[in-house]
Amino acid sequence: MIVLNGGSSSGKSGIARCLQAVLPDRWLAFGVDTLIQAMPMSMHASDEGIEIAADGEVVIGPEFRALEAAWIEGIAAMARAGARVIVDEVFLGGAASQQRWQKALDGLPVLWVGVRCEGAVAAAREVARGDRVTGMAQSQAAVVHQGVVYDVEVDTTHAESLECARAIAARAR
């Protein structure tokens, strides 16, 4: 398994797609967005689920955490059943978020990847995307890496997704 962690608009999804293109085997790619889309509409913008404030701050409620725990178990089971899986994640809780995944992935070979991007550049890309609440990129840029331990780190501030993916793939072998 490969777990990519980085803030909003840091380029994780692009790197995941490039990894699927450059890695020799067929890899499945899932992200926290897959989980959010699977949740009922009533959990979007609710204090039980996930709420995105006007300034881009993301607040996670207890119901979200409960479903997320099952989701993580499911992803781990896919890997145990033989699938190669890339996960792109936003560790809003830093080290505590990583520990949730580490516990579930216990015994599986995992490559932990930090995807960094300077806050100002991520914020500029957020404007260019036009589909995210302004402020998420800047507010998450540093906090998601606090206390997290990586096998590889890439920085998309000045490097293309494909270059970053090649660096990660080299380590995955």
Question: Would you tell me which residues interact with its own copies (CB under 8 A)?
Answer: 11, 14-15, 17-18, 20-21, 26-30, 34-35, 37-43, 48-49, 63, 66-67, 69-71, 73-83, 121, 124-125, 127-130, 158, 160-163
State how far the Cα of 155 lies from the Cα of 122, in Å rounded to an integer. 11
Nearer to its own copies, 5 or 148 (CB): 5
Give 55's contacts (C-beta < 8 A, 6+ positions apart): 135, 139
Tokens coding 147 = 């206390």
Pairing of the two strands 27-31 and 152-155: unpaired
Question: Which residues are the active-site residues?
Answer: 33
* Min dist. Cβ of residue 147 to its own copies (A): 26
Q: 148 or 165, CB closer to its own copies?
A: 165
CB 99 to its own copies: min, Å:
17
d(CA 161, CA 155): 9
